[in-house]
Amino acid sequence: MTSIQTNLSADRSARLLRAASEDVQRSLLKLTSGNQFADPSESKTEYMIASRHRARIHRLQAGRENLRNALSFSQTQESFLEQAAKALSRMRELALRAMDVTMGDQQSGGDERRFEVVTGNFSWTQAKSDAENRGGKLACIKSAEDQSSVEAVMQGGSYWIGGTDEITEGQWKWVDGEAMSFENWAAGEPNDVAGGENALQIYASGKWNDLPATNTTLSGYVIEFGSEDSSVPAHESEYSALAAFVESLGSKAFNQVSLFAGQTMQVARDEESNSLQTRGIDLAATTYSSAYTPDGDGYFLRGTAQAHARLLQVKGAIEQLQQDRATVGAFAKGIDLADRMLTHSTDLLKQTLGRLTDVNIAEESTRFARDQILRQTATAMLAQANIMPQSVLRLVDLERS
């Protein structure tokens, strides 16, 4: 067999083929990854610009996340303040009425207890604050008489009532703090299934069961109005329940951050760490607390003078609340604006990044096709070049033969 030392033509074809194959490879990679810089070394500057853009988009997105949290915070504040506004406006009416009461009304005595059913999907905790929001409380069944009054208003479902042992397991109390003496448990109850049943349910039968306070599948809850003390007039007991409700809002939190403890809020508004700041809302401030704190004997509206003083305090609280709601509203608007600006910047950046990195499919496909043809040609040339010596040999052979 004759060995061929050099074949210049085959060498050149192989080089061409290698180059064309690499181009085809790169085109394919770009087309499948959709990224113009399949290989960082290909275009260092553009690659670096693109990664810087990506990092900035990332930062902007974190900023938007921040703003969105702050927005939820203010929206939660606003929804509680709206409830406070309702309660305070009812408290103003009650204070007015207390100033007005005729001797006859005062002699007609106390605000008799009444039970009613409120239907809806409440957890026990939601039911408790909803009842307070309405100027009542979850029903406290303290006697057989209460038990039949509650059964009389029930409409065949099961409901939450105001008992709980959440503070000390097994020690049942009513929501007004009184220990439970009258009881009407179903057989085997309370059984604290899985250690998680701390709220009181009344079955359609009237019997009681302990249930997880988070359950929202009951028909609703039984609310109690009026006062156990027959000397307490209606406006006094309703005012007292509303006052307790407004006060309780002071301890509300959002993601473990107090909503109304008066601390100033600050949130980054842009990349240069400019920030939006807002004055805190303090529901414990005297402007509010004077409206919801009873006198030394536990009364709010005893006698015309106290009712009059109370009216002024409630008016003060309402004014403060209007200011506070305006503050929250302005803050939320600022956040919304900042969020829109960040979103706009992000969109622009994404477009730029897109232009920079997205494959121009048409261009790349054309290049791909061209490279493929080149490769095929090169392959053909190489094949041709490789058989050349054989043909020469064959000629030689022919000559030999």
Min dist CB 222 to ligand MAN, Å, is 18
Min dist CB 192 to ligand MAN, Å, is 8
- Is residue 165 within the footprint of Ca ion (CB under 5 A)? no
Q: Which does 277 bind (CB under 5 to 8 A by kind): ligand MAN, Ca ion, none?
A: none
- Is residue 191 within the footprint of Ca ion (CB under 5 A)? yes
Nearer to Ca ion, 10 or 199 (CB): 199
**Which residues make beta-bridge pairs with 163?**
174
Min dist CB 186 to Ca ion, Å, is 8
Within residues 356-375, the interface with Ca ion by CB under 5 A covers: none
Nearer to ligand MAN, 211 or 307 (CB): 211
Min dist CB 184 to ligand MAN, Å, is 14
Min dist CB 254 to Ca ion, Å, is 32
Q: How far apart are CA 197 and CA 376, in angstroms?
A: 77
- Determine the interface stretch with Ca ion among 115-123, 205-213, 326-334, 347-355 (rule: CB under 5 A): 205-213
- Determine the interface stretch with Ca ion among 13-21, 24-32, 207-215, 247-255 (rule: CB under 5 A): 207-215
Q: Which does 111 bind (CB under 5 to 8 A by kind): Ca ion, ligand MAN, none?
A: none
Q: Which does 284 bind (CB under 5 to 8 A by kind): ligand MAN, Ca ion, none?
A: none
- Close Cβ partners of 98 (under 8 Å, ≥ 6 residues apart): 233, 235, 236, 239, 301, 304, 307, 310
Min dist CB 191 to ligand MAN, Å, is 5
Number of residues that bind Ca ion (CB under 5 A): 4
Q: Tokens for 38?
A: 């399949």
Nearer to Ca ion, 104 or 188 (CB): 188
Min dist CB 116 to ligand MAN, Å, is 25
List interacting residues with ligand MAN (CB under 6 A).
189, 191, 193, 197, 209-211
Nearer to ligand MAN, 190 or 226 (CB): 190
- Is residue 111 within the footprint of Ca ion (CB under 5 A)? no
In the set 209, 240, 346, 357, which binds Ca ion (CB under 5 A)?
209
**Footprint on this chain of Ca ion (rule: CB under 5 A):** 191, 197, 209-210
